[in-house]
Amino acid sequence: MHHQWLLLAACFWVIFMFMVASKFITLTFKDPDAYSAKQEFLFLTAMPDAGKLPRQKHFPEELKPTGKVLSDGRLVQPLVYMERLELIRNVCRDEALKNLSHTAVSKFVLDRIFVCDKHKILFCQTPKVGNTQWKKVLIVLNGAFPSIEEIPENVVHDHEKNGLPRLSSFSDAEIQKRLKTYFKFFIVRDPFERLISAFKDKFVHNPRFEPWYRHEIAPGIIRKYRRNRTETRGIQFEDFVRYLGDPNHRWLDLQFGDHIIHWVTYVELCAPCEITYSVIGHHETLEDDAPYILQEAGIAHLVSYPTIPPGITVYNKTKVERYFLGISKRDIRRLYARFEGDFKLFGYQKPDFLLN
C-alpha cells in the first residue's frame, strides 16, 4: 500500500510539472516582443535571397537587396528602393501610360543632370524637392568648397561659380559612358504638394528675388487663364492650376523658357523610363533615403546630408486641401491628367479626396 501511494504521488508530481512547463511555453510564445524580435531576425536573414521573398520580386542580380548598416548605425533594408525601381519599370511598360511616362533624353533633360566625375555620380535636379541641399553635397564632393557650411547661398544656384558641370556639357560619347556607368539618382515628392511649393516659392514669397516670375510669367498666366477679368489681384493658385492642366500649355512654356523646371513633371525633367537610375529617393522619407543614397554612392564617409528640420518632409494633406479649395473639379482633374504619370511611376496615391 505504501508503494502504491508513493507511485500515485509521483504521477501527480509529473502531471503538475508538465502543466507548469506547458504554461511557461505558452506564455513565452505569446510574448509579442519576443515574437516580433524573432520575426525580425528571420526577415533580415532571409532578405539577401530575393527569390524566396513572399511577394516573389524579380530583381537584376546586381540589384538584389541586402541589409545595409548606415553610418549612423541604423539598419536600412533596400527592398523598398528595389520596389520603387521595379514599379518604374512596370509603369514604363504600360502602353496606356506611354505618353505620360516617356520623353526624349533631350538637352532639356541633360541640362537637369549634374555631374560629379570624381566619384562617378549623376544627380537629376527636381526643383522644390530639397535639391538645394543635394547641390551642396555635390559642390563639396567636386572640391569647390571644403564643407557644406562654407558654401554661400548665392553660389549654390550660380552655375558659373558652383563647380557643377551639367551632363549636356559633354560629348555624346561621354554622355553615354556616364549614363551607363555612373551612380544615378533623383528625389521626388507628392506631385501636387510640389506644385504648391513651387507656387509659394516663385509667386508668393520669392525669397531669391527673381522678379521675372511675378512681373513676366504671372501676367502671362493671368491673361490667358483668369476667368474673372475684373479681378485685379496678383496670380492665384487657381490660375496656376488652370495653366498647368491645359493640354495646350506648351506655347506658354516656350515663352517662359527654363523657368518651367519648377513645375514640369518628373518625367520631363529626368526621363526615368529612358535612363536607368540607381536609386529614387522620396522627400517624405528623406531621413532614411538621404543617408542610404550617400552609402550606395560610396560617399557617406566624405560628406553628410544637411540636418533635416523635424516634420518638414511630412506630407501635409490639410495644406493640399486648403490650396485646392474652391478650384473646380474639372480643373483639378485636368491637372491630375497631366501629372498622372508622376503619381503612378513613383507610387503616390491618386488624390481622390480632390477629384471626386
Instruction: Return the number of other C-beta atoms located less than 10 Å from residue 252's C-beta.
Output: 18
pTM for this structure?
0.79
**pLDDT at position 304:** 92
Q: Name which residue leads in pLDDT, 227 or 346.
A: 346
- Kindly give the pairing relationship between strand 279-282 and strand 183-188: parallel
**pLDDT at position 209:** 76
Are 140 and 151 spatial neighbours (Cβ–Cβ below 8 Å)? yes
**pLDDT at position 157:** 87
Report the pLDDT averaged over residues 169-193: 98
Residue 211 pLDDT class (50, 70, 90 cuts): confident
Report the pLDDT averaged over residues 55-64: 42
Q: Phi and psi dihedrals of 160, rounded to 5?
A: -85, -20
pLDDT digits (tens, 9 = 90+) for 213-247: 999 999 999 999 998 877 788 999 999 999 999 99
d(CA 125, CA 111): 9
**pLDDT at position 153:** 87
Q: Name which residue leads in pLDDT, 269 or 153.
A: 269
**pLDDT at position 230:** 77
Report the pLDDT averaged over residues 277-290: 97
Q: What is the mean pLDDT of the chain?
A: 83
**pLDDT at position 227:** 87
- C-alpha grid cell, residue 171: 560629348
**Which of 19-23, 190-194, 215-219, 330-334 comes out lowest in average pLDDT?**
19-23
Q: How far is CA 263 from the centre of its chain?
A: 16
> CA dist 59 to 56, 76, 89, 273, 345, Å?
10, 18, 11, 17, 17
Question: H helices within the chain, ranges in order?
Answer: 2-30, 32-46, 79-92, 98-101, 107-110, 131-141, 153-156, 172-181, 191-199, 212, 218-225, 237-245, 250-256, 266-270, 286-296, 317-324, 329-345, 352-355
Query: 119: closest CA among 298, 290, 293?
Result: 298
pLDDT digits (tens, 9 = 90+) for 29-51: 333 332 223 333 222 223 333 33
Amino acid at the residue 76: V
| Secondary structure, 3-state, 335-351 | HHHHHHHHHHHCCCCCC
**pLDDT at position 163:** 87
Q: Name which residue leads in pLDDT, 54 or 139.
A: 139
d(CA 217, CA 55): 48
Q: Strand, coil or helix: what is 162?
A: coil
d(CA 226, CA 215): 16
pLDDT digits (tens, 9 = 90+) for 292-329: 999 999 999 999 999 998 889 999 999 999 999 999 99
